[in-house]
Amino acid sequence: MDGEDLLQALHGATEFESVGDAPAQEQAASSLVIPPELKGCVTNVTAGNRKMPVLKAMMTTACERNCLYCPFRTGRSGMRRVTFSPDSMAQGFMALYQAGVVEGLFLSSGVVRGGVTSQDAIIDTGTILREKYGFRGYMHLKVMPGAERDQVRRTMALADRVSVNLEAPNSERLAQIAPVKQFDEELLTRLRWIEDLRREHTGEPVPSSTTEFVVGPAGEPDLEILSTTDYLHRQLGLARAYFSAFKPVIETPLDNYPATDLTRQLRLYQASFLLRDYSFELEELPFTGEGNLPLGIDPKHAWADMNLLHAPLEVNTASRHDLMRIPGIGGKGAARIIAARRKNTLRSLSDLRAAGVANTNRPAPYLLLDGHSPTQQLRLF
């Protein structure tokens, strides 16, 4: 199989999952080698500190599961079914790699003849790429529901990243949208195994792990999703969670269900970063009485309005932890401020800009500079 054959076969089947570290920025890769109608199979993703074109592929688009939201669900006539052998998938990928079209691979699969059999196909493909073709580039391999522990171990040995999609925040919600899947036994347990196996290899390179939630169709509040996300980050070493706003798919039981507002997806990402990167506690997030985040304001601004607007932080003495809670200041900005104030007292927004904070209008209402609220210079244009 050559590269174009593989792309033709995958056409229309690979747009349903995010892959890299910046899902909002993922877009079809441009290449003179790829026909325009097939560009959706290759996506520019952020992985670590670099961007790369990655092939998003599936071993099979057939599936024996009946998840209510899924385009690949069993019995759906509108989905074209294709299945690849490990050899043909590896051969087609290497043709694209050698032509300079892709640098990495994201490999998933529908479930056919059980999760163990489906996982074997993913493992065999990864093994052929690593051992037969000597491929040393980026591989993100999916862990199938019900995969065995030794299969998870082997998948981790091959991959740079592995993922198990929980789809919902708990067993009750999952039962509403994927009645055959078992939340703890088939899915969450695999994420626990991944973390256990990582701890067995302390000091050695080990793959990161991710999961994805389908947001909306199970009626879950944001609090439930973020509670599970927080647990996964703190206890199971999850690198990141993806949040996929529900979109109805024709010929599924939920095809008349309303699509989820994309703003809700954005707020979940913003809140998850506060939990993962900014040391926020779940209880600090600005949930409404229904357990949802406000859509009209990002959660960091909402928290700052409640906590800092009338008690601003002194930039010259605040800890890195507290500086990062000011809107417009992240980890790098906090480090630059601390470095700058060791040399001179910061007394104005121009001092803050000189320290490396680009947009000082965002943090200005929430801080003091040498005991004084800063004077904001309004832009004329």
* Residue 288 within any structural domain of the chain: no
**According to the model, what pLDDT value does residue 80 have?**
77
**Residue 107's CATH number:** 3.20.20
**According to the model, what pLDDT value does residue 46 have?**
77
3-state SS assignment for residue 128? helix
- Identify whether residues 163 and 312 lie together within a single domain: no
Statement: residue 379 has pLDDT above 60: no
Average pLDDT across the chain, whole number? 90
- Identify whether residues 197 and 339 lie together within a single domain: no
- Identify whether residues 231 and 348 lie together within a single domain: no
- Identify whether residues 148 and 16 lie together within a single domain: yes
Which of 9-13, 201-205, 210-214, 340-344 is predicted least confidently? 9-13
Q: Where are the beta strands (DSSP E) in the chain?
A: 27-28, 42-47, 50-58, 104-108, 138-142, 161-163, 208-215, 240-245, 313-314, 367-368
**According to the model, what pLDDT value does residue 41 have?**
81
Which of 18-22, 75-79, 158-162, 354-358 is predicted least confidently? 18-22
Which residue, chain included where needed, has tokens 């199979």? 41
- Full domain range(s) for residue 343: 308-368
**According to the model, what pLDDT value does residue 318 have?**
97
* Residue 100 within any structural domain of the chain: yes
pLDDT tens-digit series, residues 135-177: 999 999 999 999 999 999 999 999 999 999 999 999 999 999 9
Count of the separate structural domains present in the chain: 2
pLDDT tens-digit series, residues 89-107: 999 999 999 988 899 999 9
Cβ neighbours of 339 (radius 10 Å): 11
- Identify whether residues 40 and 150 lie together within a single domain: yes
* Residue 291 within any structural domain of the chain: no
The identity of residue 202, as a single letter, is T
Statement: residue 83 has pLDDT above 60: yes
- Identify whether residues 226 and 312 lie together within a single domain: no
* Residue 73 within any structural domain of the chain: yes
* Residue 263 within any structural domain of the chain: no
- Identify whether residues 128 and 15 lie together within a single domain: yes
* Residue 66 within any structural domain of the chain: yes
Report the b/e string of 89-123 with b at 16+ CB within 10 A: bbbbbbbbbeeebbbbbbbbbbbbeebeebbbbbb
* Residue 373 within any structural domain of the chain: no
Going by pLDDT thresholds of 50, 70 and 90, the confidence category of residue 380 is very low
**According to the model, what pLDDT value does residue 381 have?**
42
- Identify whether residues 333 and 232 lie together within a single domain: no
- Identify whether residues 125 and 19 lie together within a single domain: yes
- Identify whether residues 203 and 345 lie together within a single domain: no
Cα R_g (the chain), whole angstroms: 23
* Residue 343 within any structural domain of the chain: yes
- Identify whether residues 325 and 195 lie together within a single domain: no
- Identify whether residues 92 and 198 lie together within a single domain: yes
